[in-house]
Amino acid sequence: MIDIQNLHFSYKRKKVFDSLNLQFTPGHVYGLLGRNGTGKSTLLRNIAGLLFPKKGSISVDGNIPGLRQPKFLQNIFMVPEEFYLPNISISDFLKHLAPFYTRFNYNQFNNYVQLFDIPADSTLQNMSYGQKKKILISFALASNAKFLLMDEPTNGLDIISKSQFRKVLAEALDDDRCIIISTHQVKDLENLIDRITIIDEGKILFDQTVEQISRKLSFRLSFDDEEAKEAFYSESSLRGNTIVTANDTGDESKIDLELLYKAIVTNGEKIKAVFKA
């Protein structure tokens, strides 16, 4: 489990987190949503031990990330949005990095490389950004690390690759693995994520499971203008108004993460009241 208590973090004079409390448990794919610059990447880097809290604590399976101890490092892997890969072959990349992960599975990695259609004879620097991203994703999954942190993993992937990514990630989840995905491209991942955490200006605006959301909120098309005005969020279209309202009927609707995010940002307090009721 990842346990974050009273986290304070800032870049010089820019405060990012102030008394942040959050938990992530195994067996789930978490969606960390929010605008660029709201602290999503900073939170992942604190969890990975790449940045250090000014105050408060982070515990990852009882380990302090900032100490960067081997038993911690072999159980966590982060796919960053921005990265550098050396000008070496894929085989040399594995030779130098895979031994640090005691459960690394070479067959899994090779299967992912084939699925993503990555040229095996190319050096990493000669690959496109999307191909490099797929190498990192393949390595992350094949590492069988207990904690996977992914920062905008679908950036740079084409439509086919995004579909393949969703497939392999769904297959990789088990009861012992915790996956946290930071993204603003919510449409790419809404069928994967089972808990939604929305961050804005370093604060947790919303943190609920998909099951709870579908019970408490309704996402649907409405042709009633008055109903649209009373909704938590409304977006007009040629077919009417797509709205987010309280679920008063008990009928579960398909969650639209993009609409949910907009509703939370614009009308968060009323939505929180629904979940407290």
* Tens of pLDDT, residues 169-199: 988 888 999 999 998 777 777 788 889 999 8
**110 touches 92 (CB < 8 A):** no
Q: Which pair of structure tokens corresponds to residue 213?
A: 């959301």
Is 206 within the bounds of a domain? no
CATH number at residue 71: 3.40.50.300
Q: How many domains does the chain have?
A: 2
Instruction: Examine the fold and report which residue of 174, 201, 228 is the final residue of a domain before the chain moves on.
Output: 201
Q: What pLDDT does residue 66 have?
A: 93
Instruction: Examine the fold and report which residue of 144, 167, 201 is the final residue of a domain before the chain moves on.
Output: 201
Range with the poorest average pLDDT among 59-73, 184-198, 204-218, 219-233: 184-198
Is 27 within the bounds of a domain? yes
Q: Are residues 134 and 260 in the same domain?
A: no
- On average, the pLDDT of the chain sits at 90
- Whether 112 has a pLDDT exceeding 80, the answer reads yes
Q: Are residues 238 and 256 in the same domain?
A: yes
Q: What pLDDT does residue 246 have?
A: 92
Q: Are residues 220 and 118 in the same domain?
A: no
Q: Are residues 216 and 172 in the same domain?
A: no
Is 24 within the bounds of a domain? yes
Is 135 within the bounds of a domain? yes
Is 109 within the bounds of a domain? yes
Q: Are residues 76 and 194 in the same domain?
A: yes
Instruction: Examine the fold and report which residue of 201, 222, 249 is the final residue of a domain before the chain moves on.
Output: 201
Query: Quick one: pLDDT band at residue 151, thresholds 50, 70, 90?
Result: very high
Q: Are residues 151 and 266 in the same domain?
A: no
Q: What pLDDT does residue 94 have?
A: 95
Q: Are residues 100 and 193 in the same domain?
A: yes
* Alpha carbon distance 265, 246 (integer Å): 16
Is 101 within the bounds of a domain? yes
Q: Are residues 196 and 216 in the same domain?
A: no
Q: What pLDDT does residue 53 have?
A: 92
Structural domain of 189: 2-201
Q: Are residues 188 and 251 in the same domain?
A: no
Is 167 within the bounds of a domain? yes
Q: What pLDDT does residue 35 have?
A: 79
Q: Are residues 247 and 196 in the same domain?
A: no
Identity at 5, one-letter amino acid code: Q
pLDDT tens readout for residues 15-57: 899 889 999 999 999 999 887 777 899 999 999 999 999 899 9
| Residue percentage of the chain with pLDDT more than 90 | 59
Q: Are residues 68 and 111 in the same domain?
A: yes
Is 115 within the bounds of a domain? yes
Q: Are residues 137 and 47 in the same domain?
A: yes
